[in-house]
């Protein structure tokens, strides 16, 4: 049985159970596409490479079929679970039932696992091919220079955001006229960098003034920012910030987060078990729709 439950023993000055500071909800799940699957792997999309129309130069020419090149992108599941035990004796020493807080705490851990699956897929190896056995690495051509807008590696700045937009546009991966948004993941350091950018916070300098809420840059132009302290670093200790369209990433769900609270009659004291489980996985759908912005 978890011994941490004793920290909830009643004190005269409080009757509240508070969760320690942590990320409670999945922050990236809403910014990617979703799909439901069964089996050992799933296909979120069949890909067709661009083709070229043939210009007709004579009357009634013979028709030649276009040779279409296709590919298939796969998503693989990972199983996650979380559980803890609540002793009956401990419950008698409390003024409140901790089960709901245990479930909240476990759900927060599971939601962070969803983000970890998506974050790992941003720049990780994606599986393609007929059976999902071909490895597709993230291309260096989709990485913005760490020194963009400066003489050496720097933090997040407007020039890096512009370079990311340029890559998406030249790939025909984003159409600004469609109203679709771009998402950029940043941590607290990159947020501070943007708060120091005059082109971001000054509407006199830039008509696309950023939307700032309680000290966090929420939007700039067509870009929505997501805060995460879970973003990985490259070999140069630079944070790899994902810059992507919704169609560029995917979260596959085999079993969304589910909870069960039941009494363990096989254990002494008849403790209650809080158990959460889920099966999901992330993948990059198309390299052209995902950009990496390294930030020192």
H or E stretch covering 217: strand 216-220
Give DSSP secondary structure letters for 132-180.
S-EEEPPPGGGB--TTTTSSS-----HHHHHHHHHHHHHTT---GGGT-
Number of domains composing the chain: 1
- Residue 163 placed within a domain: yes
- Residue 60 placed within a domain: no
State whether residue 202 is helix, strand or coil: coil
Around 87, how many Cα atoms within 13 Å sit in the side-chain half-sphere? 14
Containing domain of residue 201, as a range?
145-248+286-295
- pTM attached to this predicted model: 0.85
pLDDT tens track, the chain, 296 positions: 566 665 655 554 445 555 666 777 899 999 999 999 998 888 887 767 777 787 888 888 887 777 766 678 999 999 999 999 988 777 766 656 666 788 888 889 999 999 999 999 999 999 998 888 899 999 999 999 999 989 999 999 999 999 999 999 999 999 998 889 999 999 999 999 998 988 887 776 655 667 877 778 898 989 999 999 999 999 999 999 999 999 999 999 999 999 888 889 999 988 888 899 999 999 999 999 999 999 99
- Residue 82 placed within a domain: no
- Residue 119 placed within a domain: no
- Residue 65 placed within a domain: no
Say how far apart CA 197 and CA 75 lie, in whole Å: 38
- Residue 113 placed within a domain: no
């Amino acid at each position: 049985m978890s011994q941490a439950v004793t920290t909830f023993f009643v004190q005269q000055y409080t009757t509240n159970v508070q969760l320690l500071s942590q990320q409670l909800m999945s922050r990236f799940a809403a910014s990617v596409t979703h799909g439901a699957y069964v089996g050992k792997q799933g296909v979120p999309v069949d890909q067709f490479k661009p083709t070229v129309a043939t210009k007709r130069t004579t009357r009634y020419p013979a028709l030649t079929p276009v040779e279409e090149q296709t590919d298939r992108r796969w998503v693989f599941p990972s199983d996650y679970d979380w559980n803890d035990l609540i002793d009956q004796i401990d419950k008698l020493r409390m003024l409140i039932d901790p089960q709901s807080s245990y479930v909240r705490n476990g759900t927060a851990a599971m939601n962070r696992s969803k983000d970890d699956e998506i974050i790992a897929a941003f720049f990780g190896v994606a599986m393609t091919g007929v059976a999902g056995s071909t490895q597709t690495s993230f291309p260096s051509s989709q990485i913005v220079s760490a020194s963009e807008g400066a003489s050496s590696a720097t933090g997040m700045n407007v020039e890096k955001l512009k370079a990311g937009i340029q890559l998406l546009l030249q790939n025909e991966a984003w159409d600004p006229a469609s109203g679709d948004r771009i998402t950029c993941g940043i941590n607290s350091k990159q947020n501070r960098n943007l708060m120091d950018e005059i082109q971001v916070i000054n509407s006199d300098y830039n008509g696309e003034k950023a939307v700032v809420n309680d000290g966090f840059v929420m939007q700039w132009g067509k870009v929505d920012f997501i805060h995460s302290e879970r973003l990985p670093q490259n070999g140069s200790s630079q944070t790899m910030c994902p810059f992507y369209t919704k169609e560029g990433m995917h979260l596959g769900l085999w079993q969304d987060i589910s909870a069960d609270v039941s009494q363990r009659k096989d254990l002494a004291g008849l403790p209650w078990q809080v158990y959460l489980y889920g099966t999901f996985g992330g993948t990059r759908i198309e390299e052209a729709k995902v950009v990496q912005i390294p930030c020192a």
